[in-house]
């Protein structure tokens, strides 16, 4: 038996215990995990330094290094996220939906944990803590298969959380780290139907596609974020520039950052240069169509590939469209059903955009950067789903549960009457 399969078996056993835990027990464990993350700050940061140094040596891009790097502030944020989960309702403790048939048969629809969740993700140690906390609160065991670039950071974080679980008497195997040095573990996890209940891949398009192709276990697809901001003709100048700049530059390396800004031709003629200069002032490289390039000498030419690219960097594709219908058509062609925004004072056009765009989040006069579990009030998030089954958008606690029908009778049989 491989190490990975043994870990899955242990997780299955742990999940059976977690599914019966009281909310208070899970909350105590979350608080203990949060404390241990901070208590072990020096060890975790030292481990992270190893990963960052190796990443630089191996030529990781700046955006991947940014995702990889930890700091006291980021560890505090991780700890705060675990504490925040304590204050959220337990999704499996909600009152079940109950109804009684005319013959007296009582049917309950209860929320129950999914069981064992396998997370497969890239160089983001914060996902290690977010995923563990969310899964635990919802009563699930989790198998964490991070990337080799974050191996030391993830080991230190998991050790800290295991210490918290142990202190509270919950199974340490509720949270386990899968060896990222063995590439076969991705395929192996995907074939563990019956042990692993669901796989959630979180990362680039290549990783997600690999998991989808190799898995017989159900997959919740967290998608690529080729997100758009469309500035319609009636948009207020300052608001539009503020939203576009925030969506692109607040944190360019994340999936809800804008990669393309579409501008109504009329608005571009009046305000396009100011938008360009605001983006350039933030260090953004602009790749524009012919109309945009006429407005500023520092705009580079855009080609067809730019409209379909998730840069995850301070680069943006900037183009003009004649009207809202053209903007919608562009987003439908190049978008990845993640997060899209329209800036306009025309409510009718805003509603048309929001109704016609197929995405997990569609914004009016707001930045795409709000597509986030914490911003939506979910506490942390385990990912952002761009598919339609069984959950969509930021995946919070409720998305980590399923339902079970519990039926109670008094001698009921299908072929006759109650005796």
User: Residue 223: its pLDDT value, please?
Assistant: 73
Token duo for residue 168: 């509270």
Of residues 60 and 8, more confidently modeled? 8
Instruction: Dump pLDDT digits (tens) for 154-210.
Output: 999 999 999 999 999 999 999 999 999 898 999 999 999 999 999 999 888 888 889
Please tell me the distance from the alpha carbon of residue 9 to that of residue 418, in angstroms, as a whole number: 43
Instruction: Dump pLDDT digits (tens) for 72-105.
Output: 999 999 999 899 999 999 999 999 999 999 999 9
Please tell me the distance from the alpha carbon of residue 366 to that of residue 242, in angstroms, as a whole number: 9
Residue-level length of the chain: 419
User: CATH 3.40.605.10: does it fit domain 3-222+395-406?
Assistant: yes
What is the SS3 assignment for the chain?
CCHHHHHHHHHHHHHHHHCCCCHHHHHHHHHHHHHHHHHCHHHHHHHHHHHHHHHHHCCCCHHHHHHHCCCHHHHHHHHHHHHHHHCCCCCCCCCCEEEECCCCCEEEEEEEECCEEEEEECCCHHHHHHHHHHHHHCCCEEEEECCHHHHHHHHHHHHHHHHHHHHCCCCHHHEEECCCCCCHHHHHHHCCECCECEEEEECCHHHHHHHHHHCCCCECCECCCCEEEEECCCCCHHHHHHHHHHHHHCCCCCCCCEEEEEEEHHHHHHHHHHHHHHHHHCCCEEEECHHHHCCCCCCEECCHHHHHCCCCCCEEEEEEECCHHHHHHHHHHHCCCCEEEEECCCHHHHHHHHHHCCCCEEEECCCHHHCCCCCCCCCCCCCEECCCCCCCEECCHHHHEEEEEEEECCCCCCCCCCC
Mean pLDDT of the chain: 94
Task: Characterize the bridge pairing of strands 227-231 and 258-264.
Answer: parallel
Please tell me the distance from the alpha carbon of residue 335 to that of residue 337, in angstroms, as a whole number: 6
User: CATH 3.30.70.360: does it fit domain 227-370?
Assistant: no
Rounded average pLDDT over 48-69: 91
Q: How many CA atoms lie within 13 Å of 313's alpha carbon, on the beta-carbon side?
A: 12
Residue pair 97/109 in contact (Cβ under 8 Å)? The answer is yes
Residue from 364, 311, 353 nearest 330 by CA: 353
Rounded average pLDDT over 48-61: 95
Angstrom CA distances, 80 to 31, 74, 357, 379, stand at: 10, 10, 35, 9
pLDDT greater than 90 at residue 58: yes
Residues 6+ apart with CB under 8 A from 187: 214
Rounded average pLDDT over 5-26: 97
Residue pair 338/222 in contact (Cβ under 8 Å)? The answer is no
Rounded average pLDDT over 370-389: 85
Token duo for residue 138: 């919802």
pLDDT greater than 70 at residue 56: yes
Instruction: Dump pLDDT digits (tens) for 221-271.
Output: 887 899 999 999 999 999 999 999 999 999 898 899 999 999 999 999 999
Binned at pLDDT 50, 70 and 90, residue 417 comes out as: low
User: Residue 419: its pLDDT value, please?
Assistant: 55
Please tell me the distance from the alpha carbon of residue 302 to that of residue 300, in angstroms, as a whole number: 6
The b-or-e profile of 241-270 (16+ CB within 10 A means b, else e) is bebbbbbbbeebbbbbbbbbbbbbeebbee
For the chain, the domains span 3-222+395-406, 227-370
What is the SS3 assignment for 345-362?
CCHHHHHHHHHHCCCCEE
Please tell me the distance from the alpha carbon of residue 265 to that of residue 232, in angstroms, as a whole number: 9
Rounded average pLDDT over 340-356: 98
Please tell me the distance from the alpha carbon of residue 176 to that of residue 174, in angstroms, as a whole number: 7
Task: Find the range with the poorest average confidence among 70-74, 190-194, 344-348, 370-374.
Answer: 370-374
* % of the chain at pLDDT higher than 90: 84
Please tell me the distance from the alpha carbon of residue 208 to that of residue 339, in angstroms, as a whole number: 18
Rounded average pLDDT over 46-56: 97
């Amino acid at each position: 038996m491989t190490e990975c399969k043994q870990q899955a078996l242990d997780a299955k056993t742990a999940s059976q215990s977690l599914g019966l835990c009281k909310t208070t027990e899970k909350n105590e464990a979350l608080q203990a995990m949060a404390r241990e993350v901070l208590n072990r700050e020096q060890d975790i940061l030292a481990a992270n330094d190893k990963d960052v140094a190796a990443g630089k040596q191996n030529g990781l891009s700046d955006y991947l290094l940014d995702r990889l790097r930890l700091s006291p502030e980021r560890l505090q944020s991780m700890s705060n996220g675990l504490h925040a989960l304590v204050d959220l309702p337990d999704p499996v403790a909600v009152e079940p939906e109950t109804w009684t048939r005319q013959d007296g048969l009582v049917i309950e629809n209860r929320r129950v944990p999914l069981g064992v969740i396998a997370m497969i993700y890239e160089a983001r140690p914060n996902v290690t803590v977010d995923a563990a906390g969310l899964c635990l609160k919802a009563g699930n065991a989790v198998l964490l298969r991070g990337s080799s670039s974050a191996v030391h950071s993830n080991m230190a974080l998991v050790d800290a959380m295991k210490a918290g679980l142990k202190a509270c008497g919950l199974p340490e195997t509720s949270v386990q780290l899968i060896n990222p040095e063995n590439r076969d573990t991705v395929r192996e996890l995907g074939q563990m139907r019956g042990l692993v209940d669901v796989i959630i891949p979180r990362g680039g398009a290549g990783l997600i596609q690999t998991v989808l192709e190799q898995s017989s276990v159900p997959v919740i697809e967290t998608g690529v974020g080729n997100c758009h901001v469309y500035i319609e003709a009636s948009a207020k100048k300052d608001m539009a520039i503020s939203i576009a700049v925030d969506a692109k530059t607040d944190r360019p390396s994340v999936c809800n950052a804008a990669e393309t800004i579409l501008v109504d031709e009329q608005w571009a003629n009046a305000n396009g240069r100011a938008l360009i200069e605001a983006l350039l002032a933030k260090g953004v490289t602009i790749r524009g169509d012919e109309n945009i390039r006429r407005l500023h000498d520092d705009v580079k030419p855009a080609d067809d590939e730019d409209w379909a690219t998730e840069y995850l960097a301070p680069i943006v594709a900037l183009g003009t469209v004649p009207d809202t219908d053209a903007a919608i058509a562009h987003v439908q062609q190049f978008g990845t059903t993640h997060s899209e925004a329209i800036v306009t004072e025309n409510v009718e056009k805003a509603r048309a955009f929001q109704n016609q765009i197929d995405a997990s989040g569609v914004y009016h006069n707001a930045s795409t950067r709000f597509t986030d579990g914490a911003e939506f009030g979910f506490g942390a998030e385990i990912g952002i789903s761009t598919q339609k089954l069984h959950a969509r958008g930021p995946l919070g606690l409720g998305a980590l549960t399923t339902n079970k029908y519990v039926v109670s009778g008094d001698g009921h049989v299908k072929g006759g009457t109650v005796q």
